[in-house]
Amino acid sequence: MEAKLGELSPAVPERTSPAGMETHVSGTTLFSGDGPAWKDVFVQVLSRNRVQAPFLVPAVAEPLIVWIMSGHAVVEERDIGAEWTASQVGAGDFFLTHSPVPYEMRWRAVDDQPFQVMHLYLSVPIFDSVARQLRGEAGCVTLKDVSGGHDTTLSHILSLLHGELVDAGGGSELFVAGLARSLAVHLVRRYAVADPDVRARNALPRAKLRRASADMEAHLGDPFDLKRLARTVGMSEFHFSRLFKNATGLSPSHYFIRRRIAKARQLLQETDASIIEVGMAVGYSSPSHFAQIFRRETGLSPSDYRGG
């Protein structure tokens, strides 16, 4: 914990790129598809820590597959403010995510094998092209979220891609392109669903949601101010609150608490600031109140989360 309170890395963004995702998760990259063969898919093989504390996963535009290659673990996920759901996974199991909003994860390995995974991000142009050809539509199709699933066809395609990834020659561009399109076809056939929320009229528009979220991030140390937030996006407080909850599933005040605790987690892990200083930095002048809110949101006390 070398960083000081005033020398923090930027807060976790709501959205990131496939290459940027790994800056938010602990572990070691073993292989990465960086050559010319990999323009249609971004693939990495990663060794994960055996225990991962809760962290916020930024949204990524590309469909993401996480394929378990080695080890067994209990992986827990939740939307911001929701209950944790757990999946016990082993080699061959997979997660599929095509979420437009951030969510939270944590995990723990349950055997002595290395916990290794493959991450694959399918390019948006390939996905949209296949969706248009198979369903006559693009942009209004998304993929079901799958947690701890098992799919023999998917595993076969991913195994072939892994072989190309570790090939000393960097993989065949033609073969990888064919596998990427085959993967897109399989995903659209088996997991595609209509996305009625792409242009939802009863939710806060994304531009205004980003503006409100940025305002919250800039005032985490201040009292929650609904009037200021509504004014920031040019709405009445009532209208803003209703559309904000429709967009995020949380009231503005609860979302603000979640962002405070996310910032507190970052401070506890990345700085030498005392727990009292961390609490004050995110707006809690009472250490006991901070500890109470932190435990309610994470299941751990601040000291336990820091590790002693």
b (16+ CB within 10 A) / e for 87-121:
bebeebbbbbbbbebbbbbbbebeeeeebbbbbbb
Contact predicate 207/192, CB 8 Å: no
Cβ–Cβ under 8 Å, residues 226 and 268: no
pTM over 0.95: no
Residue 179 lies in a domain: yes
Q: Is the model's pLDDT at 186 over the cut of 70?
A: yes
Residue after which a domain boundary falls, among 162, 194, 226: 194
Q: Residue 62 sits in a domain of what CATH number?
A: 2.60.120.810
Residues 104 and 169 in one domain: yes
Residues 226 and 160 in one domain: no
Name the 3-class secondary structure at 144. coil
| Mean pLDDT of the 239-257 span | 87
Q: Which of 173, 194, 215 is the last residue of a domain?
A: 194
* pLDDT at res. 168: 77
Rounded CA gap, 282 and 65, in Å? Answer: 34
DSSP code for 139: S
Q: Is there a single domain that holds both residue 48 and residue 141?
A: yes
Residue 253 and residue 120 share a domain: no
Specify burial of residue 194 (Cβ count, 10 A radius: 0-12, 13-18, 19+). Answer: exposed
Residue 87 belongs to what domain range? Answer: 18-194
C-alpha atoms less than 13 angstroms from C-alpha of 211 in its C-beta half-sphere:
14
Q: What is the pLDDT confidence band of residue 229, given thresholds at 50, 70 and 90?
A: very high
Which tokens hold the place of 116? 């290794």
Is the residue at 3 inside a domain? no
Co-location of 226 and 156 in the same domain: no
21 or 263: which leads in pLDDT: 263
Query: Do residue 67 and residue 167 come from a single domain?
Result: yes
Terminal C-alpha separation, the chain? 13
Phi, psi of 29, deg, nearest 5: -85, 120
Same domain? 224 vs 276: yes
- Helix spans in the chain (H): 18-21, 124-135, 152-165, 173-191, 206-218, 226-233, 237-248, 252-270, 275-281, 287-298, 302-306
Which of 205, 45, 162, 181 has its CA nearest to residue 122?
181
Q: How many CB atoms lie within 10 A of CB 299?
A: 12
- Asked, for residue 114, whether it belongs to a domain, the answer is yes
Confidence at residue 135, expressed as pLDDT on a 0 to 100 scale: 82
- 166 shares a domain with 29: yes
Report the mean per-residue pLDDT for the chain. Answer: 87
Cα dist. 67→64, 156, 171, 292 in Å? Answer: 10, 11, 20, 36
Q: Is residue 13 part of a domain?
A: no
Is residue 112 one of the residues assigned to a domain?
A: yes
C-beta neighbour count of 298 within 10 angstroms: 19
Q: Is pLDDT at 77 greater than 60 in this prediction?
A: yes
Could you tell me the sign of the dihedral formed by the alpha carbons of 244, 249, 254, 258, in that order?
Answer: negative
Q: Are residues 82 and 155 in the same domain?
A: yes
- Do 27 and 173 share a domain, yes or no? yes
CA distance 154 to 236: 48
Q: What is the mean pLDDT of residues 200-204?
A: 64
Number of separate domains in the chain: 2
Task: Mark which of 194, 225, 243 sits at the end of a domain.
Answer: 194
CATH of the domain at 283: 1.10.10.60
Q: Are residues 163 and 244 both part of a single domain?
A: no
117: pLDDT strictly greater than 50: yes
Q: Which residues pair with 3 in a beta bridge?
A: 271
179 and 228 housed in the same domain: no
Q: State residue 3's pLDDT score.
A: 36
Is 143 part of any domain?
yes
Phi, psi of 28 (to 5 degrees): -125, 135
Residue 6 lies in a domain: no
For residues 269-276, average pLDDT: 91
| Residue 149 maps to a domain | yes
